[in-house]
Structure 1
Amino acid sequence: MERAKAGPRTTRTLTQEKAIREFVSLVAELETLGYFEKRFGKDCIDDPYGDGPARWIERELGIADLWPLPVHRLMQDHDLFFDIVELLHDSAARPLRRWLHSHGECGWHNELFEIEPGRVAYRWRVNKILDRSEFGYRLAEEGADVGRLVVATDDARSTLVRELIERDDGEPANQVRHAIELFRARGADRNQKRSAVVALALVLEERRHNVLTSALAKKDSGALFEIANGFHIRHQDAKQKRDYDEFYLDWVFWVYLATVELTNRVVGEQGVWQPSEMGSAFIARRDD
């Protein structure tokens, strides 16, 4: 099943409380459709699942009596709400076959489940709610943190992230994916964001002389590293500026991420850059 692409961001019209209510209603709908039946079993008139879902959630999160989802508790504890959103993502599976149990109007029983299509559908439905909410998070649709709540961004930055996550050019791509995962994680602190910027700086440092010089003027290339070196991002130096606002780290991250994408284009159009034991090498592309 093709992965759903993130659509244009919608206006944030839902308060946090309304978003939670819509989420709880959505979960009830998905349960009726059988999306949690692989995990919870069927709440059958002949074999009710009782408190089975609540006990399973308690084992996972350490908190009792969370099924059916208690709206007011989720409103009072947003971290708990976020944990539930992620946990149910991992529990979703799309049913492929069903049969009708008519006794006592029990309803449909489902069998044969597809996990990934179920999770794709869950992310799409939940993100439609979150994208209209005040939370500022959405479920990641790609990368190692797929299904985890990450900081929502505008369409341009979302496209940039998606392209870099899907790129496969060995270790540099792995470093970039790691940096993205660190930076956009729910509740990422200053140290995590700083580590993400450091990871991107290392990627750019390896490309500094052979790729960046093809894309940027020498003074502009050097300015990129003055940012990281002068503001206590890469090195431990008493001369570095430490009292800058955290949003500065956000700005540096996106500048560096866009520059990584720029160097990828330079490499793709002009040649193939490879680090080696003898130093960096730039191999001209041959079209034969």
Structure 2
Amino acid sequence: MTYFSEKEEGDLPRDKEEVGEGVWGGIKALITARIDDGSFGATYALSCEDRRGPIGTDADALWQAMRAEIPDLQVRVLPPWYHGEDMPRTLDALDMIQFCWRCVGKPIHQSYHPYFQHYHLRFEVEEGREDFRTDINRIFRRNGLAYELKEDGSIERLVPPVLREALASAYFHTRDSELNRMLETARSKIGDPGEEIRREALEKLWDAWERLKTLGTGSDKKSQAIALLDATAGASSPILREALEREARELSWIGNHMQIRHSEKGKEQVAKGEHIDYLFHRLFSLIQVILRLNKEI
């Protein structure tokens, strides 16, 4: 469903990465509602006393299993259906969503049991998962969160739009399989919700850059890099050629003086997630234009 305000004003920018109180309240309410209607009985069933099948969700079993797979919840958060006040970390909240997606199903009433006054249930798992995904993604969208619950139950961080387009259109099919592997690893990790995983993406992209500089036609690394930049700019664009060389030198300098490829004491750390996105986009753009204009690689 699209709200009227979205039609009038457009979507909020999807740039927030912290699950705040309001969002957590909505997620908690969503999980509680699925427990109350028996949806999680698809995996953690509360059974009829006459052993005629599932009749709802065993909430305690669900919580114990969730805590086992998300250990921080053992000390941080009461079960959301017990109206716990403590908020989980953002990464734990996202893990909870993935756990719930895996366990949910749409409950369908079967036979009525008049003695106990309840229905026996069967579950449409795929339909239940899709309904849950739609509701979670609506909460993300309405609150400007940079996350999306995918059809396979994974959660993807939405990178900034300009980088999102570049990543979506890139296809790595160079003759160097190791370079392809490095670039694909960097691309897959930059969309992870965890900041440490995104740092790994940045490191892998810088590794790819160092390898790419050795794939030109020169006799050593320096001449190989020069040949790549010459071919990228072309003979008719000397000003662009100079700009590309300055950019290449600057990015190599950044990689050597910050904690990207090196972790010695005194190297400056990439402090914020936004800095990771900025540096990734800057180098990714350079690599992409080099690959597009050097077909022999």
Does structure 1 residue 192 correspond to structure 2 residue 219? no
How far off is 1:51 after superposition? 1.9
Distance 1:227-1:255 versus aligned 2 partners, 3 A rule = same
Distance 1:209-1:35 versus aligned 2 partners, 3 A rule = farther
Q: For 2:41 and 2:166, locate their aligned partners in 1 and report how far apart those are by CA, in whole Å.
A: 36
Aligned to 2:61: 52
Aligned to 2:12: 10
1:22-37 maps to which residues of 2 (within 5 A)? 22-30=26-34, 36-37=40-41
Structure 2: unaligned runs, 5 residues or longer: 1-9, 217-224, 234-239
How far off is 1:53 after superposition? 0.9
- Structure label with greater radius of gyration: 2
Distance 1:177-1:83 versus aligned 2 partners, 3 A rule = same
Aligned to 1:276: none
Aligned to 2:155: 148
Q: Deviations over 1:34-58 (max 9, x none)?
A: 7544322356575563522122112
Q: For 2:263 and 2:49, locate their aligned partners in 1 and report how far apart those are by CA, in whole Å.
A: 68
How far off is 1:197 after superposition? 3.7
Aligned to 2:222: none
How far off is 1:254 after superposition? 0.6
Q: Deviations over 1:73-123 (max 9, x none)?
A: 45264443233123223434x55x945232245346224634xx7655544
Secondary structure at the counterpart of residue 51 of structure 1: helix
Aligned to 1:19: 23
Is the CA contact 2:78–2:86 (under 8 Å) kept in the aligned structure 1? no
Aligned residues: 252
Does structure 1 residue 129 correspond to structure 2 residue 131? no
Does structure 1 residue 160 correspond to structure 2 residue 166? yes
Secondary structure at the counterpart of residue 24 of structure 1: helix
Aligned to 1:113: 125
Is the CA contact 2:12–2:143 (under 8 Å) kept in the aligned structure 1? no
How far off is 1:28 after superposition? 3.8
Aligned to 1:224: 247
**What TM-score comes out, normalization by structure 1 length?**
0.63
Distance 1:223-1:25 versus aligned 2 partners, 3 A rule = same
Aligned to 2:147: 138
Which of 108, 112, 116 is the equivalent residue of 1:102? 112
Q: For 2:91 and 2:194, locate their aligned partners in 1 and report how far apart those are by CA, in whole Å.
A: 10
Secondary structure at the counterpart of residue 131 of structure 1: helix
Distance 1:226-1:11 versus aligned 2 partners, 3 A rule = closer
**What TM-score comes out, normalization by structure 2 length?**
0.62
> What code does the residue aligned with 1:52 have?
A
Does structure 1 residue 61 correspond to structure 2 residue 88? no
How far off is 1:255 after superposition? 1.7
Aligned to 1:270: none
> What code does the residue aligned with 1:81 have?
A
Identity level (%) = 13
Aligned to 2:3: none
Structure 1: unaligned runs, 5 residues or longer: 1-7, 268-272, 274-280, 283-288
Aligned to 1:179: 186
Q: Note the aligned Cα RMSD (angstroms).
A: 4.4
